[in-house]
Chain A
Amino acid sequence: MRRHISLYGLTFSLPLLIWQLLFFVFPLVFLVALSFWTVRNFRMEPGFDTVNWVTMYGRPVFWQAYGTTLALAAAAAALTSALAFPCAYAIAFKLSPAARRWAIFLMVIPFFTSYLVRVYSWQVFLSDAGIINVMLGWLGLGPFRLLNTVGATMVGYLTLSFPLVVLLQLFSLVFIDRTLIEAAHNMRCGRLRTVFAVVIPSARVGLVIAALFSFILCFGDFVSPIYLGGGDPTTLSILITDTTKSGQQWPRAAVIALTMIATLLVVAFLSVRFAYKGRAQ
């Protein structure tokens, strides 16, 4: 009987297990191995040499890109969370259940179109002769340099993660026990104060996870920093493409990629720990 059940369970979990092995664990192991290979005459040679790690970690450019990427992703996570929260709050608490379903539907629509397409359409808006500058021109202003700026990169990051962050925040807000909010009002806690004293602490886990997702998406994003930010400042994702293009330096790119994975693991671990801090059970 016992054996029967485990076999039954295995039939369903085995494909996923194989998938994970094939497409996650093996590539990761290969990436680690790759980072110790060497490149001679534009050809990779298997081996065990720490030269790639020493070279990359010894370059100020790498650390500069690392700092930039970390800062940009953190800023994007904070900005997206801050902008998404009023939106998620309104959907969760101000809309009727029917209107809420529509709002959720509208939030899902952006996922139907390619992120690349959405970023290209931002170029149409932000370029020197773009829609925004033309409209500003009517008012006698500009033109301003909007494209190829950090601000434009941020706009791209927002495009990437805003709908997801709103949805994640929304799902944590919807499940807040409404009597907690009433209880706060009942104890002389006004509306705005209740948001900070009760709503945010109650939804903390969801809010932190939403910000974490935004961070993860933006940290690894290549599209916005290159097509909207113009590749300046250089982020780690841009550095990876540059490294692979210049002389087939795949092993060095592997060093960057592994550093990014390690960073995300640490950030994710710390965020989840922070989210659940002080919560027994």
Chain B
Amino acid sequence: MQEPLVSFEGVAKRFGSYTAVQKMDLQIHKGEFLAIMGSSGCGKTTTLRMLAGLEAPSEGIIRLAGRPINDLPSWSRDTPMVWQSLALFPFLNVIENVEFALKMRGIGRAERRRRAEQWLDRMQIAEFASRNIGQLSGGQRQRVALARSLVVEPDILLLDEPLSALDAALKVRMQSVLKNLQRETGITFVYVTHSQSEAFSMADRVVIMSRGKIEQIGTPQEIYRTPRTRFVADFLGSSNIFPGQLQQDRSGRAAIATASGHFLLAEDAAASAMPGQSASLTVLDTRMQIHLQPPADAVNMVEARMIGEEFVGATATIYFETGAGQEIRVQKSHEELADLPLAVGRSFHLSWLPADGHLVPE
């Protein structure tokens, strides 16, 4: 396999007694769109800043194209970054902002102007070239910040929550701008965000971090379908989580005993299950079935009372509560729900296939 563009080898970062990033191993491949996601304080921004040379790792080695860059000052690296605040220079106009990095590289005036204009054109902001930064809208500033970082045609671009200040509609539009840019240029994007929708809609691979540790790395699909830790399942919020204990049922099949009942596990999950161990069963909210009468062939089933519903576009989320007080969410399209007499307070039977259940360690 090809050598990774960036590799973190046992990298840790401490601020005094506070550990921002714990021994991290991470490889970033050339040309990929990698999102680092987590809630605030999880170490995602620190990770990015270490890569840009704005923080020095307390431990471990960071390599860029195979070369250790720990001791390389920020201004000797080619790791342009787009800040959350954008950090555009208010004392320079639009095109001067874009030219800045080229000027620092000693590129001549005419060449600088030509390349900056090219990028302004590409970002569709050529008409604002001589405007002040203060005269631009949020979306336009975003484009200036991108042009300013990309004008040097780097191998890698770091983005620190660049869209968080934009309104929802503009955010979606900028997401497609970013994704297209990344695809067209082939530049590796490392994108830090707390937004699941941003990470999952743009990234090829997502890194989920919590309290300075990587919880899971995978494609959006993988992570969404099979969260590997309890934290990830909780964080994504798309799975129902049944904490319990692993055991074998009477016929020798692996099962999990939870407060809401005993549930059978899929074959592959059963292989690694040790009876007696604590674990949680996760089932995606889209993989649950709702029945009025208990179906005869259902393997995993639980009775639950409906406690609420929520409509977002074409899908509805129905909330249930089991006798043991566990909340269960089920997501369905309106057509799938058409025949069910949904009413808050009424009891239903919820079922799922063993193959749709995944085990996560406790």
Contact = CB atoms under 8 A, between A and B. Distances in A.
Interface of A: 177, 179-180, 182-191, 193, 197-198, 201-202, 204, 278-281
Chain B interface extent, by class: 20 to 34
B255 to A, nearest CB: 54
B91 A202 contact: yes
A190 B53 CA distance: 13
A190 B87 contact: no
B105 A188 contact: yes
Given A177-B87, A201-B91, A187 B134 contact: no
A182 B89 contact: no
Interface in B53-94: 53-54, 73-76, 78-81, 83, 85, 87, 89-92
B83 A179 contact: yes
Interface in B96-146: 100-101, 104-105, 132, 134-135
Contact of A198 (B85, B89, B134): B89
- The 10 closest A-B CB pairs, nearest first, are A183-B87, A187-B101, A201-B91, A185-B74, A179-B87, A188-B104, A280-B132, A185-B75, A189-B104, A190-B75
Contacts of B105: 188
B80 A281 contact: no
B73 A180 contact: no
B52 interface: yes
Contacts, number: 68
B90 to A, nearest CB: 8
B95 to A, nearest CB: 14
Contacts of B73: 185
A190 B132 CA distance: 25
Contacts of B85: 177, 179
B83 A183 contact: yes
Nearest to A193: B104
Nearest to A191: B75
11 contacts: A179-B85, A182-B54, A182-B74, A182-B83, A186-B53, A188-B104, A189-B100, A201-B89, A278-B132, A279-B90, A279-B91
Interface string B22-40: 0000000000000000000
Nearest to A183: B87
A174 B344 CA distance: 58
Given A204-B91, A280-B134, A187 B83 contact: no
